[in-house]
Amino acid sequence: MQEQTTKSVIARLGFETEMADLRERIARWIDGCSEELREPLEWQFLTGSKYFRPLTIFSCYRALREGPIPEQIMQSALVIHQVRRTIGFDDFGLHRGGGLSAAEG
């Protein structure tokens, strides 16, 4: 259900091409990792992701400029997505495992 909702939001925002590119970049990065890490990385970065931050970055860019998303913006979106998914904190200061984040604790 979440995956369908995510696809629907991406389509309505008009970022299907950009998100396919972003997912391909993530997949290539995962393929370059050691074999024992691939499955958890795929789950963390591809399967369960809503891609909120990259979509926000792309939307802000498009609000200011027309045309394709430039490489620098695409790379920035990738890095922000990876960092935020890696550290395991949500936007409300709660750690995914439960409890307060380091910033609040």
Domain count, the chain: 1
* C-alpha dihedral sign at 20, 92, 12, 74: negative
Residue 48 to residue 1: CA distance in whole angstroms: 11
Residues 1-27 have pLDDT tens digits of 567 788 899 999 999 999 999 999 999
What is the three-class DSSP state of 92?
coil
Q: State residue 102's pLDDT score.
A: 43
**Residue 11, H or E segment:** helix 2-13
Which domain covers residue 62, as residue numbers?
2-87
In a domain, 99, yes or no: no
For the whole prediction, is pTM greater than 0.85?
A: no
**81 is a domain residue:** yes
Identify whether 103 is part of a domain. no
Phi then psi for residue 94, to 5 deg, are -105, 135
Residue 65 lies in a domain: yes
Rounded Cα distance, 32 and 45, in Å: 14
For residue 55, tell me if it sits in a domain.
yes
Tokens of 101: 């984040």
97 in a structural domain: no
Does residue 57 form part of some domain?
yes
Using pLDDT thresholds of 50, 70 and 90, give the confidence band for residue 101. Answer: very low
